[in-house]
Amino acid sequence: MEEEKLKDLVEQAKQGDSAAFGEIYDFFFDRIYRYIFFRVGMEVDAEDLTEEVFLKALQAIKRFEWRGLPFSAWLFRIAHNSVTDHFRKKGRRPETVFEEEDVRMAETETAAEQYAAKVMQEQVQTAICQLTPDQQNVIILRFFAGFSNKEVASFLSKTEEAVKALQHRGLASLNRVLKGGSKDE
């Protein structure tokens, strides 16, 4: 979606236009869900939290102001806080609970491909869980939510250089974990 169009939608949503908010929802829903899912690992939790994020956004959008940050940064900040809150209340990080049937994926052609894709997805998610929270955020936002380095930097209130460094370290750790080693060098 073009930035101008998104700006218009946000302005309309601020005035209480439900159709505009609906478009924003449609545009961001999958990405927010994916981000949360990879952070919390449970479908039920991911659904609850995703819905909560949009409810909070709905309730707060009137107060949203453009302050040089993209709207998506604001929305992902809500998602990030919700996930943090979720872990704080649960008191512990969840075990990896990924299982085949929990995961809905984009269609692939054959059952074998689907199976292979699921296995790979499970391995990746398990590996991601072993990264530091900052590294997780960067990797998930960049590779699963599809945001640019600049956007991720604004979401996480970090410099682009810091995000690049986190990305580097995150990928290096993932590489080690996926090869069966420890995340630490």
Q: Which spans of this chain sit near another protein (rule: CB under 8 A)?
A: 16, 18, 21-22, 25-26, 29-30, 33-34, 37-38, 42-52, 54-56, 58-60, 82, 85-86, 89-91, 97, 99, 101-106, 108, 117-118, 120-121, 124, 139, 142-144, 149, 161, 164-165, 167-168, 171-172, 174-175, 178
- Nearer to another protein by C-beta: 67 or 88? 88
Closest separation between CB of residue 34 and another protein, Å?
Answer: 5
Measured in degrees and rounded to the nearest 5, phi and psi for residue 138 equal: -65, -50
- Nearer to another protein by C-beta: 11 or 43? 43
Closest separation between CB of residue 135 and another protein, Å?
Answer: 12
Tokens encoding 76: 């992902």
Closest separation between CB of residue 52 and another protein, Å?
Answer: 5
Closest separation between CB of residue 141 and another protein, Å?
Answer: 12
- Nearer to another protein by C-beta: 69 or 103? 103
Cα torsion through 59, 60, 66, 69, rounded to 10: -100
- Nearer to another protein by C-beta: 73 or 152? 152
Angle at 180 between CA 177 and CA 185, to 5 degrees: 55
Contact 50, 36 (CB under 8 A): yes
3-state secondary structure (DSSP) of residue 131: coil
Contact 171, 127 (CB under 8 A): no
Closest separation between CB of residue 182 and another protein, Å?
Answer: 15
CA dihedral sign, ordered 46, 47, 52, 58:
positive
Contact 9, 24 (CB under 8 A): yes
